[in-house]
């Protein structure tokens, strides 16, 4: 029902600017969020680094993010910053977003599973607008929304999986969400291996671009 309400036949996005495309996407997200939240201020789409080649997708904004109106503004954000710094990436130069763009109350988290196909459509449109060369997924939720319920973060983390849609193929890798690493610090060693793979892929792409 919500799919048909939000994804009706719209004019093509081809002649719109990135900001206009993002605005259209925001309106779809706003319609969806009204199922749970009625305030526009509860939605945080991204950090607006539209020209970045690297797109990082988490699960949803934290309550602290909503309060600060900034993504990854909590302890998990501080850890993400350190993780990226370790492979010479400035967090302010990558595109940060989430699969879900508003914070859910605990009682709503199970209910969101009914809308997985809609979240996938929203995410596909989001990815198409940004058109990154690399997608870095944080946690099981974004991995399963993009690739399906059979994709387990414990089994698929650290593996490059091409995300193919609309005649595009984008290099995609998943790892543990920083919030999980705070709870399970013993997994940081595996996260470090994933980050090294990310760093290597970035260097390969830069080398090809400069060839």
Instruction: Indicate whether 142 belongs to any domain.
Output: yes
Q: Over range 73-91, report the average pLDDT.
A: 97
Tokens read off for 12: 């093509």
Q: Over range 60-72, report the average pLDDT.
A: 94
Instruction: Indicate whether 13 belongs to any domain.
Output: no
- Each residue's pLDDT tens digit, 11-59: 556 789 999 999 999 999 999 988 886 555 689 999 999 999 999 999 9
Which range marks the domain in which residue 49 is found? 34-210
Instruction: Indicate whether 71 belongs to any domain.
Output: yes
* Backbone φ and ψ of 56, nearest 5°: -110, 125
Are 68 and 140 in contact by the 8 Å Cβ rule? The answer is: no
Domain CATH for 84: 3.40.470.10
CA distances from 123 to 50, 92, 110, 160 (A): 15, 21, 19, 19
Per-residue pLDDT at 166: 81
Tokens read off for 108: 């709503």
Instruction: Indicate whether 150 belongs to any domain.
Output: yes
Per-residue pLDDT at 7: 55
Q: Over range 54-65, report the average pLDDT.
A: 96
Instruction: Indicate whether 7 belongs to any domain.
Output: no
Partner residues linked to 134 by β-bridges = 54, 171
For residue 36, the Cα-to-chain-centroid distance in whole angstroms is: 20
Q: Over range 71-79, report the average pLDDT.
A: 97
- Give the residue from 127, 47, 60, 62 showing the smallest Cα distance to 92: 47
Alpha-helix runs per DSSP H in the chain:
2-6, 18-33, 63-68, 75-85, 116-130, 140-147, 153-156, 178-183, 188-210
Per-residue pLDDT at 206: 87
Q: How many domains does the chain have?
A: 1
Instruction: Indicate whether 113 belongs to any domain.
Output: yes
């Amino acid at each position: 029902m919500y799919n048909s309400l939000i994804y009706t036949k719209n004019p093509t996005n081809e002649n719109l600017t990135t900001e206009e495309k993002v605005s259209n996407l925001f309106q779809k997200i706003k319609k969806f969020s009204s199922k749970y939240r009625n305030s526009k201020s509860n939605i945080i789409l991204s950090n607006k680094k539209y020209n970045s080649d690297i797109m990082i997708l988490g699960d949803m904004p934290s309550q602290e993010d909503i309060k600060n109106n900034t993504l990854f503004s909590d302890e998990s954000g501080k850890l993400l910053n350190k993780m990226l710094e370790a492979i010479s990436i400035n967090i302010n130069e990558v595109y940060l977003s989430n699969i879900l763009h508003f914070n859910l109350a605990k009682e709503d988290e199970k209910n969101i599973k009914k809308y997985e196909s809609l979240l996938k459509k929203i995410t596909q449109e989001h990815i198409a607008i940004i058109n990154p060369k690399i997608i870095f997924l944080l946690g099981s939720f974004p991995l399963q929304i993009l690739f399906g319920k059979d994709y387990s973060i414990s089994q698929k983390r650290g593996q490059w999986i091409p995300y193919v849609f609309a005649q595009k193929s984008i290099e995609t890798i998943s790892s543990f969400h920083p919030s999980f690493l705070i709870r399970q610090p013993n997994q940081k060693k595996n996260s470090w291996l994933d980050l090294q793979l990310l760093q290597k892929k970035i260097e390969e792409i830069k080398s090809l671009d400069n060839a």
